[in-house]
């Protein structure tokens, strides 16, 4: 907002963070919630290009490489998994650093994930949860085995492609049992309910696995602070 030279209290130019001036039938400005945040402009310099530049600077320092070398690795990564480019500035920079540290390891992870999820849409799954590339294949196999045993009639490869966050649950089989018990007789077809509401598996998370921090769950954060060599799931 800037003032008129002749009248300091008059509004001359109003710089809005909104993309468009939208109003309701009473001519009141619509709230951000009404537009689901779609009408908010990117902060100056913090567009997709700015986020990528910042991430490359951080990664260069963390990996001890020149920015040009980091750009080459990130370029290779985006060629392998194009959807990851849309996650820059959203996903944890620490995850991007670890994933980009070794492109050959990314290839290995892709092969391993394909073995665990033969019918999955891997590009979509990884875009939805980039850190899945950092998990041990055996750990992912253990988790999906629990899901397939708890709800054998569901196509978990397809569900996890679109809802990869479920793979963050330490023991998803236990969550299935807890949710089934919680719903009781109110749901006649439990598997159909889960298929339509996969996020419901998170509703029975308890204790230290419940809270997510920038550096992982509360349990993982404690393990890291206590000096555990490799906190599970990191």
Query: For 18-171, where are the alpha helices, taking DSSP H only?
Result: 48-63, 67-80, 93-100, 103-116, 122-128, 137-150, 156-162
Angle at 113 between CA 108 and CA 117, to 5 degrees: 155
- State how far the Cα of 150 lies from the Cα of 144, in Å rounded to an integer: 10
Position 190 scores a pLDDT of 94
Percent of the chain residues past pLDDT 90, beyond the cut? 39
Q: Mind listing the pLDDT tens digit for each residue in 175-204? A: 999 999 999 888 889 999 999 999 999 888
Place of tokens 């945040």: 37
Cα gap 179→198, rounded to integer Å: 11
Average model confidence (pLDDT) across the chain = 79
pLDDT band at residue 38 under the 50/70/90 scheme: low
Asked if the model's pLDDT at residue 138 lies above 80, the reply is yes
pLDDT band at 169 (very low <50, low <70, confident <90, very high): very high
Query: Which comes out higher in pLDDT, residue 39 or 66?
Result: 66
What tokens does 169 get? Answer: 């649950």
Give the list of residues 6+ apart from residue 39 with CB closer than 8 angstroms, or none. Answer: 18, 19, 20, 22, 30, 32
Pairwise CA distance, residues 91 & 84, whole Å: 9
For the stretch 82-109, pLDDT in tens is 888 888 877 887 788 888 888 889 999 9
Residue for token digits 């009639």? 153
Contacts of 137 (CB under 8 A, 6+ apart): 109, 112, 113, 115, 116
CA distance 53 to 57: 6
159 CB neighbour count, 10 Å cutoff: 17
Rounded distance between C-alpha atoms, residue 219 and residue 206, angstroms? 11
């Amino acid at each position: 907002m800037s003032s008129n030279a002749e009248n300091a209290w008059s509004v001359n130019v109003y710089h809005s963070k909104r993309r468009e001036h939208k109003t309701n039938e009473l001519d009141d400005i619509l709230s951000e919630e009404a537009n689901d945040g779609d009408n908010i402009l990117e902060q100056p310099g913090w567009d997709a290009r700015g986020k990528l530049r910042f991430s490359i600077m951080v990664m260069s320092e963390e990996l001890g490489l020149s920015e040009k070398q980091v750009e080459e690795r990130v370029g290779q990564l985006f060629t392998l998994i194009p959807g990851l480019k849309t996650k820059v500035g959203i996903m944890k920079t620490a995850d991007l650093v670890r994933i980009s540290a070794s492109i050959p390891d990314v290839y290995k992870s892709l092969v391993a994930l394909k073995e665990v999820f033969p019918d999955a849409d891997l590009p979509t799954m990884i875009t939805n949860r980039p850190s899945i590339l950092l998990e041990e294949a055996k750990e992912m196999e253990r988790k999906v085995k629990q899901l397939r045993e708890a709800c054998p009639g569901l196509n978990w490869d397809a569900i996890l492609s679109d809802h990869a966050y479920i793979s963050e649950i330490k023991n998803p089989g236990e969550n299935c049992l807890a949710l089934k018990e919680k719903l009781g007789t109110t749901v006649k077809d439990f598997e159909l309910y889960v298929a339509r509401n996969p996020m419901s598996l998170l509703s029975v998370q308890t204790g230290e696995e419940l809270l997510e921090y920038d550096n992982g769950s509360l349990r993982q954060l404690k393990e890291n602070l206590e000096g555990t060599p490799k906190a599970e799931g990191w």
